[in-house]
């Protein structure tokens, strides 16, 4: 595949925490315009991989490029949805304010978000069905609403590639529907999404590409080619049969 | 050595030992800053006790102070439970308020009495031998007697509840499931911290109480994983700090408490740097070694990964490791050389190939994962 | 008796007037009040961030750690100028932070242990240095001792000017890097993913916290400085859900406590300013925790009480309806005693009166009650989802 057409290209990515390997020599090619699920058992290094791609962790080796150029030069093309539980939702701020944080990277130093940013944030909230919640204090949100707020913040980044860490974790049915619709819409616009995902059952329904990860890459590609019983067994160590949804309870 | 000198050192050792015992549990349970809070608020207990009894020597002062220590703990928890403020803020709100009340009460009602706030904060160990009391027909320094009693209480508490304390510290959930009340152990420990703080700050001041409780225990935690040894080491380190601190103060004619805290800090620094396994130097050396080993494993996995693939010719070239693995050329050279010496890879015309041993290493590392 | 109490009141009015008078016209008291107000504002603003970042005890460690810095600065320069001493304190604070961050990151020790060690060892070392200085008669007057408990009464105009300059600079930085500090406090990793240099922003904010500590040392002292960083922010958080408003309110609370403390301790009571300021701010905290709308304890209690009453009233409504439906007549009246038997404990009469106010129930000859047509509808809508669940 031509490197310029690849939205994300990860090569030889190795990450270690205190010299203990978490990811071994992972390669990954993601073409533009796909919705890719990253699945694997707990402790497989899924979140680590997202963070290493985003430069939040320093990898021991390997490199990442976005549309053919090193990640550092392409930051403005990337959006990030961290795990919902990674922040303190009792922080004194409003939904609109959180969404506007998506633009802080582009605003530069000193400048404050203005009316145009406010409008953009409002329309991002509309896209996730949260238009009426703009002035709500974030501690008053349900889990699903928190997740949608984070998604709106990523939309605010107006990126080409989105990295999402467990967007479906602990959300209500309405939110799940809203996220799926949003993902499809992003794909229709030619955007690329990589999402860490836990629920094997919904992979074929929500995503069209998948990567199976367990410290090393087991397989990656279109769901109908790669999401096989054999690969799942390789990733989950035979403990999880396809579609019987047993998760292993290893600590992360 | 004069007998006063010996007595001061003895008091220092006993204080250090009495503080180190609860200190170990504070450090392990992540509650070290409670010692700071309690050592300040016991002053309020002493002041209130004095205002009620009118006697600075009354043993009730000790109880009042210990009760105030426990009150500090429960006020903090109460505040935390409202969920209006976080745990750390709760501590930071409670103890300055109680301490301020104590300072104000002293300046309003207890002026002129030997209860000035400087002495409470800083302590004056040099005067300890002059304050004596009759016991078993001998005239002993008051601090020595009081602190020895507290040391014995602490020892008895820990011996009696050793199993429970250990379990509650390392696995609070299991301890609760086995029927040990975590609240009982928690408050028992906090009571121990309180009476120790009261007894000790008369001699060494409240700030040094914190140093004696936290620093030796933390240093011991860098030296060992075993609770028994950690208790022993921290008592030893505390005693060493007390004696060393006394002599440093003696030589420099300086404040004894400040000198003891400084020496304890230096002892901690030594452990921090030189502790086997956990010290900074040992860690750095281990990391360095692991870095080379890790890099060699990484190299074998990288080679295995691309073995027999079309791009193998490119990926496996020595001069391409820089591009692919983002290694500095010198580092890549070093890794390849070491891997070659270990017989993991061989180099042919600038192209790297796995040996059987190298392939074996890569496969094992990949299958056992972590 | 009457005359006595009257004179007491007039004393009070007099002293209040006196206070106002001295605030406006007494140079010394005005200086002190200005100084403590400056301290309150700066520590209120920076303390807000510390509270939100769960670094409330960092201020405690930093203020203790400043002592050797002050002593060394004096030993090196021989100068008592507040700027020199503050620089020394600041340098020691930054060193303490670097140690704190690195020891916590490199070893298995938890942050609280390292805080405790840094706090006590730095302070002990400072104490050691002070004993040398105290042998020097000149140093006795250097006011180094005031760093323990602070002595706002000794604040001179030049001290206040120095405090205002350092504090003003710190506040300027907060204004300039406002959105970065907000991002740092709320979601540091997201900030890093945007390419912002979060470690440097963190260091900047923490250094500003050191500045706030240093400014306050002379006025409230090492021991009580930590309260000035925690309390205003913790109080302000209760009143608002907006970071900007919280920070402003926190500054206001800090200033208020500072001025009040300075005035109260100037009344000739012989109280030192630091503890009085801390008590003032503690009272503000207590008031905020109890009274603040939405979050406050009183508010919460009232909300729970109202909820309980609403639930009781609705239970009575459902019970009347269920009892009546056995009669084929939903508006059949029932005796209160029967309702009490079904509804159990709780004041049934009050619930019924509440229903009457809402036009859902009417009394029949004294002790009997029945639902109105609207009450029947209300009961039906309430019971519907429950009946659906049973199917």
Is some CB atom of chain A closer than 8 A to the CB atom of C183? yes
pLDDT band at A4 (very low <50, low <70, confident <90, very high): low
Backbone φ/ψ region at B345: left (φ over 0), alpha (ψ -120 to 50), beta: beta
**Does A214 sit within 8 Å of B369, measured CB to CB?**
yes
Q: Among candidates C86, C82, C40, which has minimal Cα distance to C66?
A: C86
B318 CB within 8 Å of a chain C CB: no
Residues of A in contact with C237 (CB under 8 A): 92
Three-state DSSP class for A144?
helix
- d(Cα A158, Cα C251) in Å, to the nearest integer? 37
User: How many Cα neighbours within 13 Å face the side chain of A166?
Assistant: 17
For chain B, the first-to-last Cα distance in angstroms comes to 59
CB pair distance less than 8 Å for A61 and B365: no
Residue B87 is encoded by which pair of tokens?
A: 């745990």
Phi, psi dihedral angles at A195 (to 5 degrees): -130, 130
Contacts of B5 (CB under 8 A, 6+ apart): B246, B250
Within B205-311, residue ranges assigned H as helices are 206-223, 227-252, 256-274, 280-306
Digit-coded pLDDT (tens) for C286-298: 999 999 888 889 9
Cβ distance C194 to A56 less than 8 Å, yes or no, reads: no
Per-residue pLDDT, B119: 61
Q: B281-368: which CATH number, 1.10.1240.10, 1.10.10.10, 3.40.50.150, 2.40.50.140?
A: 1.10.10.10
A contact test, residue of C193, C196, C235, C243 with most A CBs within 10 A: C193
Under 8 Å CB-to-CB from B45, ≥6 apart: which residues? B61, B64, B65, B66, B67, B68, B69, B198
Contact C124 B85 (CB under 8 A): no
In the A/B pair of chains, how many CB contacts fall below 8 A?
A: 50
Residues 6+ apart with CB under 8 A from C294: none
Chain A's closest residue to C241, CA to CA, is A92
Give residue-wise pLDDT tens across range C60-81: 999 999 989 988 998 898 887 8
Contact A16 B327 (CB under 8 A): no
Q: Residues B271-315: pLDDT tens digits?
A: 999 999 888 999 888 888 888 888 888 888 888 877 777 777 777
Closest-CA distance, B324 to chain A, in angstroms, reads 6
B369 and C CB contact within 8 Å: no
Whether this prediction's pTM lies above 0.90 is answered by no
- DSSP three-state, residue A240: coil
Under 8 Å between Cβ of C313 and C347: no
What would the pLDDT profile of C204-250 be if each residue is shown by its tens digit? 999 999 999 988 887 888 878 889 999 999 999 999 999 999 999 99
ipTM, two decimals, is 0.88
The least confident of B223-237, C39-53, C301-315, C371-385 is C371-385
H helical segments located in C53-110:
58-77, 82-106
**Per the structure block, which two tokens stand in for B299?**
């190299």
Phi and psi at residue A80, in whole multiples of 5°? -135, 130
Token pair, residue B158, equals 């820990």
In chain B, domain spans: 3-276, 281-368
Sequence-ordered alpha helix ranges (H) in A39-114: 46-53, 95-100, 104-107
Report pLDDT digits (tens) over A172-217: 888 899 899 999 999 999 999 999 998 888 898 999 999 999 888 8
**Are the beta carbons of C322 and C278 closer than 8 angstroms?**
no
Which residues does chain A have within 8 Å of residue C193's beta carbon, measured at their own beta carbons?
54-56, 78, 80, 82
Closest Cα in chain C to A165: C190
Low-confidence stretches of chain B (pLDDT < 70) are 1, 110-124, 127, 134, 137, 368-370
Would the CB atoms of A78 and C176 count as touching at under 8 Å?
no
Domains of chain C and CATH, by start: 2-292 (1.10.3470.10), 299-383 (1.10.10.10)
Residue C116 forms contact with B (CB below 8 Å):
yes
Q: How far apart are CA C258 and CA C220, in angstroms?
A: 9
Which CATH topology does B3-276 take? Answer: ABC transporter involved in vitamin B12 uptake, BtuC (1.10.3470)
pLDDT above 80 for A143: yes
**Measured distance CA(C193)–CA(B357) in Å, rounded:** 41
* Contacting residues of C for A80, CB less than 8 Å apart: 190, 193
Which helix (H) or strand (E) segment holds residue A226: the answer is helix A223-226
Backbone dihedral region for residue A166 (phi beyond 0: left; psi -120 to 50: alpha; all else: beta): left
Nearest CA in chain C to A52: C193
Which chain B residues are Cβ-neighbours of A14 within 8 angstroms?
298, 301, 325
Which residue of A lies nearest to B291 if distances are taken between CA atoms?
Answer: A19
């Amino acid at each position: 595949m031509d490197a310029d057409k690849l939205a994300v290209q990860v090569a030889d990515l190795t990450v270690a925490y205190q010299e203990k390997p978490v990811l071994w020599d992972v390669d990954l090619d993601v073409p533009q315009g796909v919705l890719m699920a990253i699945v694997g058992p707990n402790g497989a290094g899924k979140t680590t991989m997202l963070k290493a791609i985003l430069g939040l962790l320093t990898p021991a080796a390997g490199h990442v490029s976005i549309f053919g150029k090193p990640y550092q030069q392409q930051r403005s093309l990337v959006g990030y949805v961290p795990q919902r539980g990674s922040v303190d939702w009792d922080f004194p701020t409003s939904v609109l304010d959180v969404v506007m944080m998506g633009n802080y990277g582009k605003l530069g130093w000193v400048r404050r978000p203005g009316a145009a940013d406010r409008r953009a944030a409002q329309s991002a909230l509309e896209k996730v069905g949260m238009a009426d919640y703009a002035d709500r204090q974030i501690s008053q949100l349900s889990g699903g609403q928190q997740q949608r707020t984070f998604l709106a913040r990523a939309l605010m980044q107006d990126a080409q590639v989105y990295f999402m860490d467990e967007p479906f974790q602990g959300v209500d049915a309405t939110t799940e529907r809203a996220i799926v619709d949003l993902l499809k819409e992003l794909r229709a616009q030619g955007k690329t999404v990589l999402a860490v995902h836990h629920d094997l059952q919904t992979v074929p329904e929500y995503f069209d590409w998948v990567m199976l990860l367990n410290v090393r890459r087991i397989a990656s590609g279109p769901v109908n080619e790669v999401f096989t019983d054999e690969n799942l067994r390789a990733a989950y160590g035979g403990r999880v049969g396809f579609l019987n949804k047993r998760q292993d309870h290893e600590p992360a | 050595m004069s007998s006063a000198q010996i007595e001061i050192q003895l008091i220092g050792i006993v204080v250090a030992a009495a503080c180190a015992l609860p200190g170990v549990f504070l450090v392990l349970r992540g509650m070290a800053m409670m010692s700071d809070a309690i050592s300040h608020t016991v002053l309020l207990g002493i002041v209130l006790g004095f205002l009620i009894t009118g006697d600075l020597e009354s043993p009730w002062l000790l109880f009042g102070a210990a009760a105030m220590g426990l009150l500090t703990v429960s006020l903090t928890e109460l505040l935390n439970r409202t969920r209006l403020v976080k745990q750390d803020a709760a501590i930071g709100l409670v103890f300055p308020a109680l301490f301020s009340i104590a300072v104000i009460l002293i300046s309003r009602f207890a002026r002129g009495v030997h209860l000035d706030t400087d002495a409470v904060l800083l302590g004056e160990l040099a005067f300890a031998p002059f304050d004596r009391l009759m016991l078993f027909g001998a005239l002993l320094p008051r601090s020595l007697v009081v602190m020895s009693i507290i040391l014995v209480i602490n020892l008895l508490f820990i011996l009696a509840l050793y199993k429970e304390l250990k379990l509650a510290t390392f696995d609070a959930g299991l301890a609760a499931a086995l029927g040990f009340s975590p609240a009982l152990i928690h408050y028992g420990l906090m009571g121990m911290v309180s009476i120790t703080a009261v007894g000790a700050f008369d001699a060494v001041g409240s700030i040094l109480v914190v140093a004696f409780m936290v620093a030796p225990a933390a240093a011991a935690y860098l030296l060992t994983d075993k609770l028994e040894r950690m208790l022993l080491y921290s008592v030893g380190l505390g005693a060493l700090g007390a004696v060393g601190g006394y002599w440093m103060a003696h030589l420099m004619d300086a404040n004894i408490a400040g000198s003891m805290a400084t020496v304890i800090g230096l002892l901690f620094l030594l452990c921090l740097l030189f502790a086997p396994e956990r010290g900074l130097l040992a860690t750095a050396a281990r990391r360095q070694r692991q870095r080379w080993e890790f890099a060699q494993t990484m190299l074998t996995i990288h080679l295995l990964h691309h073995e027999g693939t079309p791009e193998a010719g490119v990926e496996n070239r020595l001069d391409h490791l820089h591009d692919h693995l983002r290694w500095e050329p010198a580092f890549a050279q070093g890794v390849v050389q070491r891997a070659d010496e270990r017989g993991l890879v061989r180099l042919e015309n600038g192209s790297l190939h796995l040996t059987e041993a190298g392939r074996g290493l890569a496969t094992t590392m990949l299958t056992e994962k972590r | 008796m009457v005359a006595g109490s009257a004179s007491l009141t007039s004393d009070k009015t007099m002293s209040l007037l006196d206070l106002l008078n001295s605030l406006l016209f007494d140079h010394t008291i005005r200086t002190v009040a200005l100084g403590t107000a400056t301290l309150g504002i700066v520590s209120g603003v920076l303390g807000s961030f510390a509270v939100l970042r769960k670094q409330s005890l960092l201020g405690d460690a930093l203020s203790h750690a400043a002592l050797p810095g002050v002593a060394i600065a004096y030993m090196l320069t021989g100068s008592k100028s507040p700027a020199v001493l503050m620089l020394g304190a600041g340098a020691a604070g930054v060193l303490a932070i670097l140690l704190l961050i690195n020891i916590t990151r490199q070893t298995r020790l938890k942050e609280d242990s390292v805080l405790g060690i840094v706090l006590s060892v730095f302070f002990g070392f400072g104490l050691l240095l002070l004993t040398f200085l105290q042998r020097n008669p000149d140093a006795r007057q250097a006011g180094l001792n005031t760093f323990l408990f602070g002595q706002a009464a000794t604040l001179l105009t030049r001290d206040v000017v120095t405090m205002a300059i350092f504090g003003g600079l710190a506040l300027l930085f907060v204004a300039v890097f406002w959105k970065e500090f907000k991002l740092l406090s709320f979601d540091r990793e997201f900030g890093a993913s945007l390419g912002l240099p979060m470690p440097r922003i963190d260091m900047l904010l923490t250094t500003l916290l050191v500045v706030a500590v240093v400014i306050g040392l002379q006025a409230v002292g090492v021991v009580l400085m930590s309260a000035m960083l925690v309390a205003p922010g913790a109080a302000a958080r209760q009143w608002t859900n907006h970071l900007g408003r919280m920070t402003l309110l926190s500054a206001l609370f800090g200033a208020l406590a500072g001025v009040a403390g300075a005035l109260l301790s100037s009344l000739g009571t012989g109280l030192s300013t630091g503890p009085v300021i801390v008590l003032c701010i503690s009272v503000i905290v207590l008031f905020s925790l109890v009274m603040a709308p939405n979050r406050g304890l009183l508010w919460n209690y009232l909300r729970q009480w109202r909820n309980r009453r609403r639930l009781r009233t609705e239970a009575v409504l459902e019970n009347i309806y269920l009892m009546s439906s056995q009669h084929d007549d939903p508006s059949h009246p029932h005796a209160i005693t029967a309702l009490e038997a079904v509804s159990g404990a709780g004041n049934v009469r009050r619930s019924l009166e509440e229903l009457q106010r809402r036009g859902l129930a009417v009394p029949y000859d004294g002790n009997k009650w029945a639902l109105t047509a609207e009450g029947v509808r209300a009961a039906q809508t309430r019971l519907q989802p429950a009946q659906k669940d049973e199917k």
